[in-house]
Amino acid sequence: MRVAIMGSGGDAPGMNPAIKRFVEAAFAFDMEPYFVFDGLEGLIDERISKASYEDVAGIIHRGGAIVGSSRSERWYEYKYRKKAYENLRKAEIEALVVMGGDGSFKAMKLFLEEFDFAVIGIPTTIDNDIFGTDISLGADTALNVIRDAIDKIRDTASTFSRAFVIETMGRECGYLAAVSAVTSGAEVCVIPEVSFDIESATKILKEEIKRGRRYILAVVAEGTGKTEEIVKWLKDDIGMETRLSVLGHIQRGGNPTVKDRLLGSGFALESIKALARGDRDRVVVYSDSRFSTLSFDSVLSQKYIIDEEILSMLNFSG
């Protein structure tokens, strides 16, 4: 059985550990591993090649993905999806493992509705917004990148008695911002999942400043669209000199943490096991400390919700 792995959408730390274990596990299960380079675009343009142990030697510590990734507008035209299918058949590949997030899984679901093919998904997104899995590949490394950045920002905030607004990625999901706020001791956290009571926050912060507070850290999820509003509020209403730090794409890079190396390995191994069982339409998930699979329909039809215990730890004003 010939099986291929590819990345799709945004990259995330842990993809290379997953690629390495995919190749090793494929050989262990008497399968032939292949790479699809540059995601959906590469699938359309037939950038497919056989993989070897040599290809994955020494990559486990590297961020990004040696197979590349992409987003593709062409994919949403039937003729290009058909071409991708024909390319896979031409290479005699019988199954595809896709590392991606919500958009990638929707693209694969469309493909599965039209063609008889085996596809296994690996939740790969720092946003951690995939239903059914406690954590997605890359989220832990992103959290550590954010933690390091906020720790450094705190140094200058405390020295100059300033407020800093730190914007995190995450699209419509506030997971990165919520966990980062808790673990950095931020005074303010603004996420899409919870309404922020600005009046109560104003009262509390002004009282704390009277009692000696010298600086403020505010973590804002990009999906709220309220970053500039929070900057203005801290500057004008709280009366503190304020700076904005948009962390941006550094959150998607860097050496994967131990946790993401383990997750990448586990996700990839379970994907090969699923194919060996004959599964054809599944997403590997990690829940309650174990790997299992759910259908694409199940994953895509439900919304990821941040654990209530995480939300309860936030220092919300109000």
What is the domain-level CATH number for residue 94?
3.40.50.450
- Counting DSSP H helices and E strands in the chain, the numbers are 12, 11
Asked if residue 311 is part of any domain, the answer here is no
Residues 175, 26, single domain; the answer is no
Asked if residue 86 is part of any domain, the answer here is yes
Residues 77, 176, single domain; the answer is no
Residues 104, 55, single domain; the answer is yes
pLDDT per position as a tens digit, 126-174? 999 999 999 999 999 999 999 999 999 999 999 999 999 999 999 899 9
Residues 103, 156, single domain; the answer is no
216 strand-pairing partners:
163
Asked if residue 222 is part of any domain, the answer here is yes
Asked if residue 117 is part of any domain, the answer here is yes
Residues 27, 44, single domain; the answer is yes
Predicted confidence at residue 70, as pLDDT, reads: 95
Domain of 194, in residue numbers: 141-252
Asked if residue 224 is part of any domain, the answer here is yes
Residues 67, 210, single domain; the answer is no
Active site residue 307: no
Q: Which amino acid is at 19?
A: I
Residues 162, 15, single domain; the answer is no
Asked if residue 232 is part of any domain, the answer here is yes
- pTM score, whole prediction: 0.95
Q: What ranges in the chain are assigned the alpha helix state H? A: 15-28, 39-44, 53-56, 78-90, 102-114, 139-160, 175-184, 198-210, 227-232, 258-277, 296-300, 308-312
Number of domains in the chain: 2
pLDDT-derived band at 314, boundaries 50, 70, 90: confident
Q: What is the 3-state secondary structure (H, E, C) of 251-273?
A: HHCCCCCHHHHHHHHHHHHHHHH
The active-site residue, picked from 127, 129, 140, 281, is 127
Average the pLDDT over each of 79-88, 240-249, 268-277, 309-318 and give the range with the smallest value. 309-318
Would you say residue 318 has pLDDT above 90? no
Residues 76, 207, single domain; the answer is no
Would you say residue 6 has pLDDT above 70? yes
Contact indicator for 177, 189 with CB cutoff of 8 Å = yes
